[in-house]
Amino acid sequence: MAETILEVKNLKINFKTYAGLVHAVRGVNFDLKQGETLAIVGESGSGKSVTSNALMKLIPQPPGIYADGQILFEGRDLIPLTEKQMSKIRGNDIAMIFQDPMTALNPTMKVGKQITEVILKHNKNTSRAEAKKRAIELLDEVGIPYPEQRFSQYPHEFSGGMRQRVVIAIALAAEPKLLIADEPTTALDVTIQAQIIELMKKIQKERNTSIIFITHDLGVVANVADRVAVMYAGQIVEYGTVNEIFYNPKHPYTWGLLGSMPDLDNNADELLRTIPGSPPDLTNPPKGDAFAARNEFAMQIDYEEEPPMFQVSPTHFAKTWLLHPDAPKVELPEAVAKRIKGYLGEEVEQYV
């Protein structure tokens, strides 16, 4: 078993706003092993980006408050660290790739300089010439053609996909152990998205980097993830290996997400399954299960008491009262069951 590099324990993050205290992250627990990819899936406002920014201590305080919990990176809690201590970890040990490659790059600085800057900052003994050589190697490594010429160009001279490659090159410059990618391909076209994902996987394989991949695209999750955490209203509601989440989902919200994506074989005459309503307001998180109001299988207890994480397998957990031994047995919605069967065919037994 690979070594655990990151452990997040009961993380709670609030934001002070004029409308009141927003409980953006409400007790999140997960861990990450070396060389592993964890995908965090959720919709806007689910707390997935706040969680990932928190790992880098990028939550501005105020208005943000680390209300509770620990972020143990290689066993050391990051929350009490000072800004100075954190700046040593950022880039060096943990690096981040953002959604929009244009805003992540400095438009007035040549890309080469933006990469060498990182190399020089993190390796005090490196000369400028060495840093330049390394930067060109990195550009080459992330698949940018003519890296020597590209080194002295500005970001606007690059296409969207090429810019995201530059951002990845910068993130890799200091050889981080953990890479956090927050919707890194959402702004890109599908063919470019596929190339960027292939690139990230290749790099992971070569360097044994751990990756946290934040996305709302379940197709991308199925491609990149070893394990998946599904977030809803600031909490992880289902957590398991990629096969467990896609082939044996237990939480009605996960069912809803899987059902609302059209399948290439969907019959055009049937309507898509939808999750009715919209996510709750986190200034006043609802009592009980936050998903209850949108859950067609909600029971009385869902409106009264928050469900615990029920264990489904040694690696699979779901936060829904439906898993309580006394709960009525609820079948997986037909549309989702049909699709899983369609994907797996005869092998269903093997996965479920």
Partner 1 sequence: MSEKILEVKNLQQHFGSIRAVDGISFDVYKGETLGLVGESGCGKSTTGRSIIRLYDITGGEIIFKGQNIHGKKSKKELQQFNKEMQMIFQDPYASLNPRMTAGEIIAEGFDIHGMHKDKKKRKEVIGELLEAVGLNREHAGRYAHEFSGGQRQRIGIARALSLDPSFIIADEPISALDVSIQAQVVNLLKQLQKERDLTYLFIAHDLSMVKYISDRIAVMRRGKIVELGTAEDIYYHPVHPYTKSLLSAIPLPDPKTEATRVRIPYEHEEVGEGGKTHEVFPGHFVYGTEEQLKRWRP
Give the binding site for partner 1 (CB under 8 A). 43-44, 160, 189-195, 197-198, 216-223, 225, 242-243, 246-247, 256-264, 266, 268, 271-276, 278, 343-344, 347
**Minimum CB distance to partner 1, residue 118 (Å):** 29
C-alpha to C-alpha distance for 79 and 114, rounded to whole angstroms = 28
Residue 75: CB minimum distance to partner 1, A: 31
Helix axes 160-172, 190-207, angle to 10 degrees: 20
Q: How far is the CB of 191 from partner 1 (least distance, A)?
A: 5
CB of 304 to partner 1, least distance (A): 25
61 vs 278 by CB, closer to partner 1: 278
Distance separating alpha carbons of residues 257 and 220, to the nearest angstrom? 14
Distance of CA 237 to the CA centre of its chain: 14
Tell me whether residue 70 or residue 260 sits nearer to partner 1 (CB atom): 260
* Nearest distance in Å: CB 224, partner 1: 8
Q: Is the CB of 135 or the CB of 231 nearer to partner 1? A: 231
Report the residue number, 114 or 215, with the smaller CB distance to partner 1.
Answer: 215
25-56 exposure pattern, b = at least 16 Cβ within 10 A, e = fewer: bbbbbbebbbbbbbbbbbeebbbbbbbbbbbb
**Distance (Å, whole) CA 171 – CA 93:** 10
Number of continuous H segments (helices) and E segments (strands) in the chain:
13, 12
Nearer to partner 1, 18 or 125 (CB): 18
Structure token pair of residue 285 = 């998180």
